[in-house]
Structure 1
Amino acid sequence: MAKKQLKPDSIRHRNRVESSTRQPKPSNSSSKNLHGSNNRRIFAIIAVVFIASSAVSILVYRRVKHLSPPSLSVHQRGLVKEDVTFQEILSENSRVSENISQRHFTNSVLAYITPWNAAGYDLAKRFCPKFTHLSPVWYNLKTEGTKLALEGRHNADTEWLSELRLRGNAQVLPRVVLEAVPKDLLRNKKQRDKAINLLLKECKDMGYDGLVLESWSRWAADGVLYDASLRKMALQFVKQLGDSLHNFRSQRNGQPLQLVYVIGPPYSQSGKLQAHDFGPEDLKTLSDSVDGFSLMTYDYSSPYSPGPNAPLTWVHSTIKLLLGDGGKSLANKIFVGINFYGNNYILAEGGGAQAITGRDYLSLVDRYKPMMRWKKDFAEHFFLYSDDQHREHAVFYPTLMSIAERLEEARSWGAGISIWEIGQGLDYFFDLL
């Protein structure tokens, strides 16, 4: 395009020069001298203009460069605050610091990735240096007749795994949900051994650094944890799996394979543990065999009781209850759960709720341009709006300030964090990690 624009100008310039050369020459020497003098003046003016324009161009370039520095972090841009506005959220959410390799939260960071949300895979690669552990949600261990079957290898993305290895040192521990019939599995030594062998083989075949195991909630739902003998067998199974993993080493870094165990928070309002809760004694029992505990400190509210996703006071009391007296020495094995999703509640009686991701949240913020409200007791932002049917809504979704508060809570205990799940968040959240 530049050549097509410049060509007519050059032709017109040439035509003007040729036209002037066809003018009658002056007949006297004074005219000739004047003509030569004029040419010299013109050339001098052109030279000055050229030099001046070049200098101005350089100054403008430097000025623009000065005004457009590399992207700063959210802290440097002053965005981590209570009085955030919808305009700031809309304009800033996709801007992140160029230095993505720098870690601000130096304790362990476990991030979950789900196969139904492709954004998580891309974000895991992009921000890989921010994480110590990545857990793609790929596997289920099920009972099929009288046998056990490990399902989910079709989810495993080997190309993605290879790219991760080039971008950072995060350990990859796929999540396995234990769906095998609990009583059959726990009471039968052969089945327990078979289950562990299946999991070990998958780690070795696929080159994983270990596993994240989720089973406690299933055992609670099936009544296993109310029976003292079955509960003991359940804990013994987790110990056996952890010890077995530690006997093998990662193909990537030569370190023992790791086990992270998923545990739910106690919901007792009295501050006392219920029979099915995972508590301090369970933590101590497993601490030598389990490398970390992914604590699900979210989903505090419900459609029947709309409110914050994870009130900070509740997060604090949950950690305190789990660690028990003198249990702070094990806090470094806790991954405090942080949600990167939110909830949109309809406040009318029986109205219900919808889980929302970052994309949903930005759409609502853009449409309703709400006033963001900070609730100090919860350490969460929320906003209200009325829909087309005149129903009142309350939207709770993480913000930079709410996440920063939870990071500080985890840091104060010496604990790590676990994020469910990174594909549901906003890009600038990663500046905090």
Structure 2
Amino acid sequence: MRTTVVLLQAISCCWLVSATLSKTDAKKSHKAEAETTPAELSVLDRGLVVSDTHWKDIVKEEKRYSAHIKKGFQGQVLGYVTPWNSHGYDIAKMFGSKLTSVSPVWLQLRRRGPETFDVTGLHDHDPGWVKAVRKSNKKVKIVPRLLFDGWSYQDYMSVLASEDEIEELASELLDVAKTEGFDGFTLELWSQLGGNKRKELVHLIKHICETLKTKRLDCILVIPPAVTSSGQPGMFGREEFEQLAPAVDGFSLMTYDYSSGSRSGPSSPLPWVRDCVLQLAPTTQWRQKILLGLNLYGLDFANQGTEPILGVRYIEILREHRPKLLWDEYSAEHYFSYKRNNAVNIYLISLATELGTGISLWELGQGLDYFYDLL
């Protein structure tokens, strides 16, 4: 039988959010049924956020959340939603009061030819859902992710070298935002060039963001970690951050997937996350614009590679294998082994509070519903 090590990363609060069973509880039947009644107290007030968590408490409590509790986290909170995870749409409505912005993963920007751009994916735009989210929070911003998709290297070179191309691109985004009623965009393009043409990318992004700002639209940029898992500088550094910070409203920092492939390990070790922030913003001037990435999925490491584990499957594994959850003090994450994870790491939220950053959640609906008590 193969032993698979599952690491519960710093993303959703389920692994931390479990209390130690009393001796009396331990004598009860091993059968654990989920409680579905609303919780008057948050997971913190119920004493569920502990390092010595127990599988039975997670199974019992994961459906008991406190949607009525007001947002306690002071920074920006960006939540991603994807069309392939319908529960994320429900989460955005249920906990909309705790989100400052929602980024549906709907859109792609394509270059059709010289000075010709087209935004695709608009068929996924659901005005009824957007209206429901805004009903839960009048101030929430809808900023769809815009992926620069299908671009050749020559497409990038042509656009980066031409002010006319850049002007046309920004104008297309303004038109789409106005027509669709969006509050801005979350741009994903930096990693596509593998760290090359940084100066030119900074110019392009500044132009796009400044154009959006003329119509009071938000501009968020997805950025890779400032430090790689091997300790080397990443593709986006302090110089680019300081140049873009005055124009960009938020930097969605991908501080997760530290361990990948066949190498088992933590997803978002706390010292690494801290280093990623401090490398970009050693002073606090622009730090509030950094949105620490918290992944709401776990990782299952097996012989054939790494597999993401979402909340439903996580609960199934706990019920079936009843594993002992172990605490890694260094990374501030839980993990366990089983034969043949998933958790929000409150320590990452505490780190965001300490450093004065915001957070970005990839993605809403992947983890367990009581994670949002921590926001």
Counterpart secondary structure, 1:422: coil
Distance 1:142 1:193 in 2: 15
User: Corresponding residue for 1:30?
Assistant: none
Is 2:228 the partner of 1:283? no
What's the TM-score once normalised by structure 1's chain length? 0.74
Q: For the Cα contact (< 8 Å) 1:303–1:352, is it kept in 2?
A: yes
Compare CA radii of gyration and give the structure with the larger one: 1
Distance 1:271 1:370 in 2: 32
Deviations 1:114-165 (A, max 9, x none): 0111000011001100100110011111123543221111111111011112
Q: 1:383 aligns with which of 336, 346, 365?
A: 336
User: Corresponding residue for 1:65?
Assistant: none
Distance 2:198 2:259 in 1: 28
Deviations 1:6-64 (A, max 9, x none): xxxxxxxxxxxxxxxxxxxxxxxxxxxxxxxxxxxxxxxxxxxxxxxxxxxxxxxxxxx
Q: Greater RCO between the two (CA within 8 Å, min separation 6)?
A: 2
| Aligned-residue offset at 1:89 | 0.3
* Residues 121, 78 of structure 1: alpha-carbon distance in 2 compared, 3 angstrom cutoff: same
| Aligned-residue offset at 1:239 | 0.4
User: Corresponding residue for 1:210?
Assistant: 184
Counterpart secondary structure, 2:284: helix
Is 2:143 the partner of 1:176? no
Is 2:362 the partner of 1:362? no
Distance 2:240 2:201 in 1: 10
* Residues 132, 219 of structure 1: alpha-carbon distance in 2 compared, 3 angstrom cutoff: same
Q: 2:226 aligns with which of 266, 269, 274?
A: 266
Distance 1:267 1:286 in 2: 18
Q: 1:424 aligns with which of 355, 359, 366?
A: 366
Q: For the Cα contact (< 8 Å) 1:140–1:178, is it kept in 2?
A: yes
Q: 2:272 aligns with which of 293, 296, 314?
A: 314
User: Corresponding residue for 2:209?
Assistant: 242
Q: 2:76 aligns with which of 108, 111, 118?
A: 108
Q: Look up the equivalent residue of 2:329 and give its one-letter code.
A: K
Task: Choose 191-200 or 113-122, whichever is displaced more.
Answer: 191-200
Identity among equivalent positions (%) equals 37
Map 1:32-51; keep pairs closer than 5 Å: none
| Aligned-residue offset at 1:289 | 0.9
Q: For the Cα contact (< 8 Å) 1:372–1:382, is it kept in 2?
A: yes
Task: Name stretches of at least 5 consecutive residues in structure 2 with no aligned partner.
Answer: 1-36
* Residues 70, 213 of structure 1: alpha-carbon distance in 2 compared, 3 angstrom cutoff: closer
User: Corresponding residue for 2:356?
Assistant: 414
Q: For the Cα contact (< 8 Å) 1:260–1:292, is it kept in 2?
A: yes
Distance 1:199 1:115 in 2: 21
Map 1:82-93; keep pairs closer than 5 Å: 82-93=51-62
Distance 1:412 1:145 in 2: 47
* Residues 269, 137 of structure 1: alpha-carbon distance in 2 compared, 3 angstrom cutoff: closer
Q: Look up the equivalent residue of 1:289 and give its one-letter code.
A: A
| Aligned-residue offset at 1:270 | 6.9
User: Corresponding residue for 2:199?
Assistant: 232
Map 1:77-226; keep pairs closer than 5 Å: 77-100=46-69, 102-146=70-114, 147-168=116-137, 169-179=139-149, 180=151, 181-220=155-194, 225-226=195-196
Q: For the Cα contact (< 8 Å) 2:186–2:219, is it kept in 1?
A: yes
Is 2:343 the partner of 1:398? yes
Q: How many residues align?
A: 333
Q: For the Cα contact (< 8 Å) 2:67–2:95, is it kept in 1?
A: no
Distance 1:188 1:319 in 2: 33
| Aligned-residue offset at 1:268 | 3.9
User: Corresponding residue for 1:257?
Assistant: 217
Q: RMSD in angstroms over aligned alpha carbons?
A: 1.7
Q: Look up the equivalent residue of 1:427 and give its one-letter code.
A: D
Task: Choose 175-184 or 283-292, whichever is displaced more.
Answer: 175-184
| Aligned-residue offset at 1:182 | 1.4
Distance 1:112 1:69 in 2: 25
User: Corresponding residue for 1:372?
Assistant: 325
* Residues 69, 426 of structure 1: alpha-carbon distance in 2 compared, 3 angstrom cutoff: closer
User: Corresponding residue for 1:12?
Assistant: none
Map 1:276-355; keep pairs closer than 5 Å: 277-324=235-282, 327-346=283-302, 348=303, 351-355=304-308
- Structure 1 runs of 4+ aligned residues shifted over 6 Å read none
Q: For the Cα contact (< 8 Å) 2:82–2:105, is it kept in 1?
A: yes
Q: Look up the equivalent residue of 2:332 and give its one-letter code.
A: A
Q: For the Cα contact (< 8 Å) 1:133–1:173, is it kept in 2?
A: yes
Distance 1:170 1:232 in 2: 32
Distance 2:307 2:249 in 1: 34
Distance 1:99 1:193 in 2: 45
Counterpart secondary structure, 1:95: coil
| Aligned-residue offset at 1:232 | 2.0
User: Corresponding residue for 1:28?
Assistant: none
Q: For the Cα contact (< 8 Å) 1:71–1:95, is it kept in 2?
A: no
| Aligned-residue offset at 1:92 | 0.1
Deviations 1:196-230 (A, max 9, x none): 1111111111111111101101122xxxx43xxx4
Task: Name stretches of at least 5 consecutive residues in structure 1 with no aligned partner.
Answer: 1-67, 249-255, 388-395
* Residues 89, 269 of structure 1: alpha-carbon distance in 2 compared, 3 angstrom cutoff: closer
Q: For the Cα contact (< 8 Å) 2:227–2:275, is it kept in 1?
A: no
Q: Look up the equivalent residue of 1:261 and give its one-letter code.
A: L
Q: For the Cα contact (< 8 Å) 2:238–2:281, is it kept in 1?
A: yes
More helix by share: 1
